[in-house]
Structure 1
Amino acid sequence: MIAISTLISDDQRAVLALWHEVNASLSAYHKLVTTFGSAQQAWTAKVEAWRQLGIHPSHIKRHEQQEQTLTSIDTIEQALRADKYQLLFADQPDYPAQLLQIYDPPPLLFYRGNSALLHQAQIAIVGSRKPSTHAQKITFDIAQYLAQAGYIITSGLAMGVDKRAHFGALAQADPDYQGRTIGVMGTGINVCYPNHHDHLFTQIIEQGGCLVSELLPHTQPHKHTFPRRNRLVAGLSLATIVTEATIKSGSLITARLTSDQGKQVFAIPSHIDNSNAEGCHHLIREGATLIYHPQQVLDDVNVQLNIYPSDLKSIELNQSADTSSKSNTEQLTNKQKASVASKVAIPEHLEVVYKQLDWHGQDLDALLVSTELTAPQLIGQLMELELLGTISEQGGRYLRV
């Protein structure tokens, strides 16, 4: 077994300690790290400094009891040694790059199973916890179709649509396509919720899928943890499909977050008197793409990636992963290699802008900050890249093609 010291650096241990003391509060964590410059400095800061920042009293109390923090970290390290679950930190190349693009990326992710899937092209499928029989069949069929086309199906492990989406992705006769699903948890990585979904959790792991959570182990379900989960479902995925949802469904939160991140939302229509589909009808009215066949999703999403469905079997989204991590993922197909080799060379003076772009899209404001160019300079270089056919503009966001 690999020694734990080779898995977690001192800086990462400080991240874990700080994450524990703020009880996985994103706002408190980012406020402390921004103020003190690093998790290490925030964790070693005096209690009074935390108090002056207006940190919640419960967080301050845990900061005063660092012996308990160290005990909790020791427990987590023991679980890592026993391979009960594993950890990814935001400073690691194996951390999913697409999550770094969202407004509030988690500093770490607990996971079980095949983490290589996190770097592959994903489509989220979400919806009602009490779907109609028809919606259950549609969800299963769409998930199976998209998984066979090469996409990873990402969902939230809830009853109803989520569950059917996961099972559809798992129902593959071809072993190369089995396990093409990611379950994002609204609990700690070692908490099965809903309780009777233990079979689903086991099947996902055994067939090569992946379970992920940003929450600390043993965290129980709470009404606030599921919107957090939804933002990760949206953040990991290239697009979101809502197959059936009420107007007050949490799925609409996922759809909104998907749209806020500049990605496409798809919705399936139903009878106008179907109250269980009011959420889908609302989304369509607000601009979501109406679909009645999964091929329509492929047609739209494949345009974003500039690939064909047959290329998707092994596509990686995390272009910064080092060569050692790539040994754990599928390699590019010959067709993809030929496609990459035929790409137009990026002129040297455009490389700074091009390197800031990804396949999810960046708006002008973000690019102005990251490139430190003036607006006229940036716009001119973006136009050059568009003329070269290396990037495109969609909805005010610029992305690679």
Structure 2
Amino acid sequence: MSKSPPLSVEQRAILALWYEVNASLSAYHKLISTFGDAQLAWQAKLEAWRQLGIHTTHLKRHEQPEQTQANIDKIQQALTEGRYSLLFADQADYPMQLLQIYDPPPLLFYRGNSARLNQAQIAIVGSRKPTAHAQKTTFDMAQYLAQAGYVITSGLAMGVDKRAHLGALAQADAEYQGRTIGVMGTGIDVYYPNHHDQLFAQIIDQGGCIISELLPHTQPHKHTFPRRNRLVAGLSLATIVTEATIKSGSLITARLTSEQGKQVFAIPSHIDNSNAEGCHHLIREGATLIYHPQQVLEDVNSQLGYERYAYKATDMSASNSDQTAHSIDTDSSSSISASGQSPQSNIKSPPSAVVVPEHLTVVYEQLDWHGQDLDALLVATELAAPQLIGQLMELELLGVISVQGGRYLRV
């Protein structure tokens, strides 16, 4: 992490306000809209704050400017030592898409590669306790979309969030590594969940980014996670919910995505899977049903007007038809404008898919993401058991299928 330059007078004033209102967005924006800028707002008398209806706890902090200055000095020290960095809303590297949401944060603490913040992103969210199938689906979705050039954004939680980050990081080609952003529901220096410190380090080391709008040392609280969810939605062009209960916080992210005028995708499951009731509810309410990441690419790319590239791709559904794949620029210069559009420059197509040999296509075409057991495949292919098992082993060695719980499925 590179060391940051000293904070300017205005930046210290912004931090002072943010500290004194304890990162309250409503109080901060009320003060800025009333006084015009952070310096004037922070220099205002206590009575002026009181007349605005500022909360009592904020007033108490405003009565102790020395304590405020001491806390800013601690943050400046951490910035100087390179423990984390800061972006303010008026800086060029601040993610422009966040300026379009109702309540953008005035600043972002971050660790890692901040260039990711202005690249085109797709959010993947879901259950903290997903089924094995949902974990695999999430990982595959993230890996596929990251290889197509998108940054995968999620909330660093257990379950689906973690699998989304890991899928985005699982790229053999260095050009596609590190395409993930983790949005924290704590301070930038607080690991939550505690055992995710390795995931945090992996994201940063591989070129991803971790951000928080909350002050350092802020501990997890039930109110901080909906705030995180709004940033996940705000940063992204669309949100995918891979598996979620009806009371999942992922539905908050989906709702915020929809309110921001963006597309929500949901993956269906068995009707008796209570862990997927949230996805089924979203589909009923108008979310786009998907069963393959290519469908996400087609919808998102067509919305953005990206140039299309036709290439021969092995379909991961039951058909064997040609499909059109789209990609965005994978360079760090592939950024989104304030309107959410990506510049038309050096757009690349994703790497070619593995070509399945002709003698294996009959078996391969019988497979999908849900998986088939050996008995079902014997009936469907009408092959002898030794021949079928041999072909399945070949497909597995090619890396185009995997085995989970005795069921064979595409990857």
**Cα gap change, 1:260 to 1:44, in 2 (>3 Å):** same
Between the aligned partners of 2:98 and 2:217, the Cα distance in structure 1 is 23
| Deviation readout 1:311-343 (Å, 9 max, x if unpaired) | 3313633447xxxxxxxxx9942779xxxxxxx
Where 1:270 maps in the other structure, the secondary structure is coil
Is 1:317 equivalent to 2:331 in the alignment?
A: no
Equivalent AA in structure 2 for residue 257 of structure 1:
L
Q: Distance in 2 between matches of 1:57 and 1:121?
A: 41
Structure 2: runs of 5 or more not aligned: 309-325, 350-411
**Structure 2 counterpart of 1:138, one-letter code:** T
1:8 deviates by: 2.5
Question: How many Å separate the matches in 2 of 1:203 and 1:17?
Answer: 32
Q: Give CA-to-partner distance per residue, 1:176-202, whole Å, 9 cap, x none.
A: 111100000000000000000001000
Inter-partner Cα distance in structure 2 for 1:158 and 1:310: 28
Distance in 1 (CA, whole Å) between partners of 2:335 and 2:102 is: 19
Counterpart in the other structure of 1:389:
none
TM-score by length of 2: 0.77
Equivalent AA in structure 1 for residue 334 of structure 2: E
Structure 1 residues 260-269 or 310-319, which shifts more? 310-319
Q: Are 1:117 and 2:134 counterparts?
A: no
- Residue type matched to 1:252 in 2? L
Cα RMSD, aligned residues only: 1.9
1:333 to 320, 342, 346: 346
Change in CA separation of 1:282 and 1:3 when aligned onto 2, cut-off 3 Å: closer
Secondary structure at the aligned position of 1:183 is classed as strand
Partner of 1:165: 164
Q: Which amino acid aligns with 1:261?
A: Q
1:177 aligns with 2:176: yes
Superposed CA offset, 1:328-366 (max 9, x none)? xx9942779xxxxxxxxxxxxxxxxxxxxxxxxxxxxxx
**Alpha-carbon distance between aligned partners in 2 of 1:105 and 1:22, rounded to the nearest angstrom:** 15
Q: Report 1:2-401 matches (<5 A).
A: 6-307=5-306, 308=308, 309-314=326-331, 316-319=334-337, 332-333=345-346
TM superposition shift of 1:96? 0.5
Matched-pair contact (CA < 8 Å) for 1:127–1:242: yes
Q: How many residues align?
A: 326
Kindly provide the CA deviation profile for residues 197-217 of structure 1, in whole angstroms up to 9, marking residues without a partner as x: 001000000000000000000
Task: Kindly provide the amino acid, as one letter, of the partner of residue 329 in structure 2.
Answer: L
Give, in whole Å, the separation in 1 of the partners of 2:327 and 2:336.
19
Structure showing greater radius of gyration is 2
Secondary structure at the counterpart of residue 311 of structure 1: coil
1:173 aligned counterpart, secondary structure? coil
> 1:312 is paired with a residue of what secondary structure?
coil
1:41 deviates by 0.7
Larger proportion of helix: 1
Sequence identity (%): 78
Structure 2: distance between partners of 1:220 and 1:3 = 25
Task: Look up the match of 1:371.
Answer: none
Residue pair 1:230, 1:254 contacting (<8 A) in 2 also: yes
Structure 1 gaps, min length 5: 321-329, 337-401
CA distance in 2, matches of 1:66, 1:102: 31
| Contact 1:97/1:317, CA 8 A, preserved across alignment | no
